[in-house]
Amino acid sequence: MNQVRLQTLFEKVWNKHLVQPGSEGMPAVLYIDLHLVHEVTSPQAFTVLRERGIKVRRPDRTLATMDHSTPTTPRGLDGLIPVTDMQAAAQLDVMRKNAADFGLELYDLGTINQGIVHVIGPEQGLTQPGMTIVCGDSHTSTHGAFGALAFGIGTSEVSHVLATQCLLQYRPKTMAVRVNGVLHPGVTAKDIILAIIAKIGIGGGTGYVFEYMGEALRRLSMEGRMTICNMSIEGGARAGMVAPDDTTFEYIAGRPYAPTGADWDRAVAEWRTLPTDDGATFDNEVVLNADELVPMITYGTNPGMGMAINATVPDPDRASDVSAKMALDKALKYMDLQPGQSLLGKAVDVVFIGSCTNSRIGDLREAAKIMRGRKVADGVRVMVVPGSQKVKAQAEAEGLDRVFKEAGAEWREAGCSMCIAMNGDQLAPGQYAVSTSNRNFEGRQGKGGRTFLASPLTAAATAIYGVISDPRLEIEVERA
């Protein structure tokens, strides 16, 4: 008889981090390996520490950056990025003071390592398989692409981790998200996750941690896997994970915080024990076939309101119940769209390529592939916002910045930019945007702004034509 209990990837990571197991009505105490901090959700947590006279327990496991309220406008003659919003400037100063007072490493605005918190962790090699990672940001799920258990927390919990390096958590349920088959050209990781969320709905993963698996996932780059894990929260799951494999190890190797020499060999040997055991069971499962997927786009005001790019806007009168009809009615009114309408050919005002979902070098290469040697359509504002200063430098070394600038797009400094619209980058009321970001909520990209979520390929094709366009046609042109 098998004496070893079969475990999922999640269970292995969870169990290894239990300072104290939970019980009925009593949360587990979970140790946190890496705490990422940014300027927007941390100030009130540091205030709690000051009020109680507590130090940060593990500054060596805590990294701060600036990304949400930072402008992405060009540098001045002094080489610095000007912050003209006085409230944002004050918030950034508070981050600087907190980092200095509590002895934390801070990647300050415009310095070489600064960037979106979920871009810099993996980039620095800080994000590693089997770790527990938290941040006061719901897209912390991104780091799960490495086989880490990573999830967003609130500011009270930020204070808990700063003070004790621990969190009180009830054990979530597990859901296997299996993506079989192989993607067609022009269909990407972003389309996979938009299709998953459209299938399960934005509340479908509530209470679960996802483990993404299947042939299509295995074939994805780390950047593609990050895009998928990033949007786990848009399906309601706090975390999404992918079992580490050679693709993972190759990505990590040689990065600043990656283990080296004999430590590397030991690390890889340990990481190879993490994947879900054959025969381990999940609480739930959802299955998708990659070869049936086409590029996806959202039409509504939450990420679950997505469809194939060549489909038509659904009819509220055919909604499953009264509340669903009300939601769809409200969404279509906000978006000023009609049931039965095709989005292909719909004119847009702005194209935004960036965010923690799609601002890595691979995303920019994809967009550049379509935009190279071409011009963006008249009257369309196209913003390309690298996820970090390192991504920006790499793109410039490859000449991608010239591709974008020569096409007529804006090439900007690193940050969250128009994904969160609290930094000067935002839509005007009524404007339409195709965006590679993660949320199309009302007003998310600026009060009254209207967002269509899509992949970098779809965004780039739309930038060229000025209307929502199917990128598969561009891929075929390129191959011919």
Partner 1 sequence: MSQVTNFAGKIVAIPNNDIDTDQIIPARYLKVTDKAGLGAACFSDWRYNADGTPKADFVLNQPEHQGAAVLIGGHNFGCGSSREHAPWALIGAGFQAVISTYFADIFRNNSLKNGLLPVQVDEETHRQLISLAQEDPQTRVTVDLVTQTLTLPDGRQVTFPIDAFSKECLLKGVDQLGFLIDLDPAIVAYENDHAARVSLHG
Contacting partner 1 within 186-225 (CB under 8 A): 202-203, 206-207
What one-character-per-residue DSSP string does 414-469 give? SS-GGGT--SS--PPTT-EEEESSS---TTTTSTT-EEEE--HHHHHHHHHHSB--
Identify residues 51-70 at the interface with partner 1 (CB under 8 A).
52, 54, 57, 59-63, 68-69
Q: Among 316, 339, 408, 443, which residue interacts with partner 1 (rule: CB under 8 A)?
A: 443
Beta carbon nearer to partner 1, 319 or 467: 319
Buried b (16+ CB within 10 A) or exposed e, 232-245: bbbbbbbbbbbbbb
105 binds partner 1 (CB under 8 A): yes
Q: Among 56, 175, 233, 433, which residue interacts with partner 1 (rule: CB under 8 A)?
A: 233
d(CA 458, CA 214): 24
Question: Regarding beta strands 410-411 and 432-435, do their DSSP bridges make them parallel or antiparallel, or are they unpaired?
Answer: unpaired
112 binds partner 1 (CB under 8 A): no
40 binds partner 1 (CB under 8 A): yes
Beta carbon nearer to partner 1, 441 or 465: 441
Query: Terminus-to-terminus CA distance in the chain, angstroms?
Result: 59
24 binds partner 1 (CB under 8 A): yes
Contacts of 186 (CB under 8 A, 6+ apart): 295, 457, 470, 471, 472, 474, 475, 476
Cβ(28)–Cβ(13) below 8 Å? no
Q: Among 43, 181, 339, 408, which residue interacts with partner 1 (rule: CB under 8 A)?
A: 43
* Cβ count within 10 A of residue 375: 12
Beta carbon nearer to partner 1, 34 or 371: 34
78 binds partner 1 (CB under 8 A): no
State in angstroms the smallest separation of the CB of 76 from partner 1: 22
Q: Among 12, 118, 160, 360, which residue interacts with partner 1 (rule: CB under 8 A)?
A: 160
Identify residues 347-386 at the interface with partner 1 (CB under 8 A).
none
CA 399-68-58 angle, to 5 degrees, is 105
Nearest Cα neighbor of 334 from 410, 441, 251 is: 441
Q: Which residue has the tokens 């007003």?
A: 443
Q: Which residue has the tokens 């009830």?
A: 170
Q: Among 126, 288, 293, 463, which residue interacts with partner 1 (rule: CB under 8 A)?
A: 126
Contacts of 61 (CB under 8 A, 6+ apart): 32, 33, 34, 35, 165
Identify residues 243-272 at the interface with partner 1 (CB under 8 A).
257, 259, 263, 267
441 binds partner 1 (CB under 8 A): yes
323 binds partner 1 (CB under 8 A): yes
d(CA 32, CA 28): 12
Q: Among 6, 74, 75, 87, which residue interacts with partner 1 (rule: CB under 8 A)?
A: 87
d(CA 7, CA 170): 18
State in angstroms the smallest separation of the CB of 472 from partner 1: 31
State in angstroms the smallest separation of the CB of 277 from partner 1: 22
159 binds partner 1 (CB under 8 A): yes
State in angstroms the smallest separation of the CB of 42 from partner 1: 9
Beta carbon nearer to partner 1, 69 or 230: 69
Strand partners, 381: 350
Query: What does the DSSP 8-state code read for residue 381?
Result: E
329 binds partner 1 (CB under 8 A): no
Helix, coil or strand: residue 87: helix
State in angstroms the smallest separation of the CB of 276 from partner 1: 22
Q: Among 94, 268, 344, 393, which residue interacts with partner 1 (rule: CB under 8 A)?
A: 94
Q: Among 33, 223, 413, 425, which residue interacts with partner 1 (rule: CB under 8 A)?
A: 33
Beta carbon nearer to partner 1, 257 or 465: 257
Structure tokens given for 198:
């459209």
R_g of the chain computed on alpha carbons: 22
Q: Is 54 left (phi over 0), alpha (psi -120 to 50) or beta?
A: beta
Beta carbon nearer to partner 1, 275 or 446: 446
Show the binding pattern over residues 295-314: x = contacts partner 1 (CB under 8 A), - = does not.
Answer: -------x-x----------
Instruction: Report the side by side order of strands in the sheet with 166-169.
Output: 18-20, 28-31, 166-169
Backbone angles phi, psi at 132, to 5 degrees: -105, 130
Q: Which stretch binds partner 1 (CB under 8 A): 217-225, 232-240, 280-288, 352-360?
A: 232-240
Q: Among 72, 91, 276, 358, which residue interacts with partner 1 (rule: CB under 8 A)?
A: 91
284 binds partner 1 (CB under 8 A): no
113 binds partner 1 (CB under 8 A): no
Q: Which stretch binds partner 1 (CB under 8 A): 31-39, 273-281, 395-403, 404-412?
A: 31-39
170 binds partner 1 (CB under 8 A): yes
99 binds partner 1 (CB under 8 A): no
422 binds partner 1 (CB under 8 A): yes
